[in-house]
Structure 1
Amino acid sequence: MREGAPVTVLRHGTLGLITVLVLFPFLGIALAAFHPTNSQVGGLSLPDPWSWENFRLAWEAGNFDRLTRSGLVIAGCVVPLTVCFATLAGYALSVLGVWGGRVLSLGFVLGLTLPVELLVIALYFNLREVGLTNTYSGVVLAEVALFLPFGVYWMQSHFAGVPRELVEAARVDGARDSAVLVRVLLPISWPAVTTLAVLVFMWSWNQFLLVLVMMQSPDMRTAPTGLGLFVGQYGTDIPLLSAASLIVIAPIVVVYLLFQRSFVNGITRGAVKG
């Protein structure tokens, strides 16, 4: 049944209002970043003159070249490991029906309820005992463990919605479990895998407290942690601080734009199945 015009107008109006509310702070930050350094910024005032100098100064003052490299190294390890382990676990729990699957699934769901603030101190002392603090390996392992509960839940839900006829047909043709996953399920699961990869990259890049506690070396920390220290030094220089904020969020925007179609497709498929 087709919706009436008032319902359509109300829906579009609500979405437009939400869009404005979400983009309004970003517009203010973007305009403030182009004001001259140490200038007073009021609301959404236009810069006069427009200045790109803040981005260069923020990049150099915050050592964002090293911080960005560290963040990309960590995310570049966390994303494939999390996606790979989550895919294998989701396949085992949903399709293979491993022994104790319900208990394991419940354990992963409970893992979603544990905040990093509750675990970070104990995690620090445990990793310090094995020499993994102040190393990329320690942060990567901690983040993979932190993101896996959602990843497993996401991939398990996706595989649960795949028609069983596809799996049974592949097994009738003599395909083993690994072949069913690689040749049958993964080709139709790229939207879900891509969505999970984008989400994990975003979470890994934005991780603040975990990196701050695990990394004592300032050069090995990531851009968000560097931005936290940047605020303490240049908190009164709003244009410079705004430019640094845009530098930090730029990689997430780039990754989203590159995988926008697959990301939206994966999210909408999950919504329809739910």
Structure 2
Amino acid sequence: MTSLAPARVQLEPETVASEPVQHKPKGRRGVVMTLVLAVMAIFWVSPLALLVVTAVRPLADFVGNGPLSWPEEFTWSNFSDAWGIGNFATTYKNSALLALIKVPLGVLISAMLGFALAKLRMKFRRTVMFSVFLGLTIPIYIAIVPVFIMLRQAGATDSLFGLIGPYLAFGIPFEVLVLQSFFRQIPDEIIEAAKVDGAGDWRVFFTMILPLSLPALVTVAILDAVATWNEFLFALILLNSDANKTIPVGLLNFQGQFANNNTGLAAGILIAVVPILIAYTLLQRYIVGGLTAGSLKG
């Protein structure tokens, strides 16, 4: 029995010493993954960095040395010039007004429809759901001519309010897809308990469903605001006067017939995307949470 004790003592250091070896491959994989993600981040950020450098260099330096060269001098006059050329005093107001009206209205309609499809017993529910999601497969280019003809007959062309209808039609399907997926993971027992206490469907929706769905609502609101802010084709076709143009259409002022103001355009793009960058920075946790929440329920 005494001869076995040293053997037992000798085995313990070997066992302990062998444990760190198992973690080395994981550590190497982590370093490799970090390097890969760093390279991807550089490629992802490089267009924005190039845009910023272009916006703060003179046009002559951009033309003479090329877009990928480091500027010989820097200037801030591009931003003041871009504000006037792009007519941002007007286009900012028009885009903001359009977003403030369309986005809350679209989110509310989508939330009501998503709640009905996810939690209410209704006839032809699958047919309605299929019809709504069919809108995701229709390219916007196919609808340009019919929409233009309908709005012209209604006298709604060259009007910001005329854009609300087409924007809602193409924005609601995606919002319903996200929201109804989120609503499905809300326990039915909560809704049933509220109905036992005498709450109707409208009260359940406004006092329970909407507060519980804040991450998803913020997600679709931000994505819808970005889509509305950046929409170009409908605004180009339906808006004619400078007083009603939105920001994407106003950026066309930087493109001339014989020359392009590339540095001014870069400054104008930065001016245009500032609200979107701020919104993404402040609300990014809601966006990620809202898009992934619907996939957590089995």
Instruction: Please state how far the C-alpha of 1:35 moved relative to its aligned partner.
Output: 0.6
Q: Deviations over 1:130-181 (max 9, x none)?
A: 1111111110111011101111111111111212222122222222111211
Partner of 1:31 in structure 2? 53
1:184-263 alignment to 2 at 5 Å?
Answer: 184-232=208-256, 236-263=260-287
> After the TM superposition, which of the residue ranges 254-263 and 30-39 deviates more from structure 2?
254-263
Paired residues of 1:235 and 1:241 also in contact (CA < 8 A): no
Over the matched positions of the two proteins, sequence identity in percent amounts to 34
Instruction: Please state how far the C-alpha of 1:271 moved relative to its aligned partner.
Output: 4.5
Partner of 1:67 in structure 2? 91
> After the TM superposition, which of the residue ranges 139-148 and 39-48 deviates more from structure 2?
39-48
Distance 1:272 1:95 in 2: 18
Instruction: Please state how far the C-alpha of 1:232 moved relative to its aligned partner.
Output: 3.3
Partner of 1:53 in structure 2? 77
1:17 aligns with 2:39: yes
Question: What secondary structure sits across from 1:98 in the alignment?
Answer: coil
Distance 1:210 1:242 in 2: 23
Partner of 2:12 in structure 1? none
Paired residues of 2:85 and 2:253 also in contact (CA < 8 A): no
CA-based RMSD of the aligned residues comes to 2.1
Partner of 2:186 in structure 1? 162
Instruction: Please state how far the C-alpha of 1:223 moved relative to its aligned partner.
Output: 0.8
Distance 1:236 1:131 in 2: 35
Distance 1:272 1:226 in 2: 42
Structure label with greater radius of gyration:
2
Question: What secondary structure sits across from 1:39 in the alignment?
Answer: helix
Structure 1 residue ranges without an equivalent (≥5): none
> After the TM superposition, which of the residue ranges 81-90 and 97-106 deviates more from structure 2?
97-106
1:269 aligns with 2:293: yes
Q: Deviations over 1:50-93 (max 9, x none)?
A: 21110000111121111111111111111011000000000111
Paired residues of 1:38 and 1:238 also in contact (CA < 8 A): no
Paired residues of 2:179 and 2:216 also in contact (CA < 8 A): yes
Distance 2:137 2:256 in 1: 31
Question: What secondary structure sits across from 1:259 in the alignment?
Answer: helix
Instruction: Please state how far the C-alpha of 1:16 moved relative to its aligned partner.
Output: 2.4
Report the TM-score when normalising by structure 2. Answer: 0.85
Q: Deviations over 1:4-41 (max 9, x none)?
A: 33443344333323222211111001011111243225
Distance 2:189 2:196 in 1: 10
1:137-148 alignment to 2 at 5 Å?
Answer: 137-148=161-172
Aligned length, in residue pairs: 273
AA matched with 2:149: F
Report the TM-score when normalising by structure 1. Answer: 0.92
Q: Deviations over 1:203-261 (max 9, x none)?
A: 00110000111111122111111113423369533322211121122221122123223
Q: Deviations over 1:77-114 (max 9, x none)?
A: 11011000000000111111321110010011110011
> After the TM superposition, which of the residue ranges 119-128 and 262-271 deviates more from structure 2?
262-271
Structure 2 residue ranges without an equivalent (≥5): 1-22
> After the TM superposition, which of the residue ranges 160-169 and 11-20 deviates more from structure 2?
11-20
Question: What secondary structure sits across from 2:122 in the alignment?
Answer: coil
AA matched with 1:23: V
Partner of 1:134 in structure 2? 158
Paired residues of 1:105 and 1:153 also in contact (CA < 8 A): no
Distance 1:173 1:20 in 2: 56
1:175 aligns with 2:199: yes
Distance 2:269 2:257 in 1: 14
Question: What secondary structure sits across from 1:112 in the alignment?
Answer: helix
Shift of the 196–8 alpha-carbon distance from structure 1 to 2, 3 Å rule, reads same
1:125 aligns with 2:149: yes
Paired residues of 1:54 and 1:243 also in contact (CA < 8 A): yes
Distance 2:27 2:161 in 1: 56
Paired residues of 1:36 and 1:51 also in contact (CA < 8 A): yes
